[in-house]
Amino acid sequence: MNEGHETAQKSAIEKAPYMRFLGASMHHALVTTLRRKRTILAGVIALLPVVIPLLLTVFTEGAFGQEGNKLFVMLVEDIYVKALLPLLAMFFGTMLIGEDVESQTIPYLLTRPFPRSALVLGRFAAYMIIATALVLPGIFLTFAACTALGSFSFSPANLRLMLHYDGALIMGLMGYGAFCMWLGAFFKRPIIVGVTTLFGWQRLAFFVPGLIDFFTIEKYVTALLPPLAEARETPTLRTALAEFQKQQFLIGAAKSVAALCIITAAMIAITVFVVRWREYSQAKAMES
């Protein structure tokens, strides 16, 4: 029986091209993700920063009223890059494999005649489509809302600035998404590990002296951000004894892109490896 099944699987794999498997996996992940109400919640969260400049145009004048540029940069760099990117990646990334693991439906999925790598890659592609579709309109609307404030307009230079941020955010989504997908595939409680790593470790590594911050994704995403007139903040750590200034080791944009691509590829490869080798079936699942 088993022999016959394996033979059929092999022949199915041989007959169907790899891209078809990938497409099917992506479509399945897309549809299942879009059916979740939490996707709407994630979309609302991703669009929330747009409300800030809108409220500022109505309710305040003066300092912020004249600083559309400053506000846009602040919203993208502080809210999107530092908070929303890891949050969305955790939201969707851990779900890609983790949801099936948690609901114990992954054994059924893995019995399908699919290459495991196509399954993982297809899901990752679906994540990228959804996350990008949520973030990019948010960035554009934030940009447009900031132009309603002073000293910021729909000029080619400002549009280039927005596109630059879009590129950096897509790269960030890629890195964070691959990492979170691995978390979902590997850990039993991926959200806890994700929060600890992305919001705990990354923050801590940013302040610890030395090269430890190279072991964070944020380091590479931040390096991709457009250099603006505003000075990049120098991280300072206030302690009971004194205030230390951390020496920053800067990294170029090309190296950051390469690093993010390597991280993504490595994480996808590890996830494929984990999905291939990890024993997901449990007695409870089998019973059910």
Partner 1 sequence: MRRTRGRKSHRERRTILVLAAIVCVLAVAVLWARSRDPEALRPPPRPPEMQARTAAPENAYHVLGEALYLLPAENPMPKKYPVPGRPGLEAFYSTEVNSIARELDIWAPDDGPEVAAYLEQCQPAIEKAKQALACPYFLIPQEAGQAKRAIGDPAFTTLLHASCRHAWEIRNDKQTALDLFFDAVRLCRLLRQDGAANELSWIQSKEQNLWRQLADYVKETGDPAILNHALDRLMELEEPPPLDWNLILDAEWRSEWEYLERMRAQGSLQGPATLANVLRMRHERRMIRSIINKGGIWTQTLSLPYPRFEEALGGNPGGPLAAAKDYGGCESVWYRLWEAKLGQTCCAAMQRQLLLLALLELHRLDKGQYPEALAGAAAGRLEMLPVDPFTEEQFQYNPLTPERLLVSPGPKTYPRSLFRPDLNWRAEIVNGVVGIQTTPKED
- Residue ranges in contact with partner 1 by CB under 8 A: 31, 34-37, 39-40, 43-44, 47, 50-51, 53-54, 57-62, 65, 134, 137, 141, 144-145, 147-150
For partner 1, the closer of residues 12 and 44 by Cβ is 44
φ, ψ at 245 (rounded to 5°): -110, 130
Cβ nearer to partner 1, comparing 57 with 222: 57
Distances (CA, A) of 153 to 72, 135, 143, 188, 225: 11, 21, 9, 48, 20
Least distance between partner 1 and beta carbon 133 (Å): 8
Of 148 and 270, which has the nearer Cβ to partner 1? 148
CB nearer to partner 1: give 54 or 251: 54
Smallest distance from partner 1 to CB 131, Å? 13
Shortest CB 161 distance to partner 1, Å: 17
Q: What are phi and psi of 249, to 5 degrees?
A: -100, 110
Two tokens at 140? 């554009």
Least Å distance, CB 168 to partner 1, is 22
CB of 18 to partner 1, least distance (A): 26
The residue among 59 and 277 lying less far from partner 1, judged by its C-beta, is 59
Nearer Cβ to partner 1 (87/149): 149
Residue type for position 31: V
CA distance 73 to 193: 30
- Least distance to partner 1, CB of residue 149, Å: 7
Return the structure tokens found at 214. Answer: 């190279």
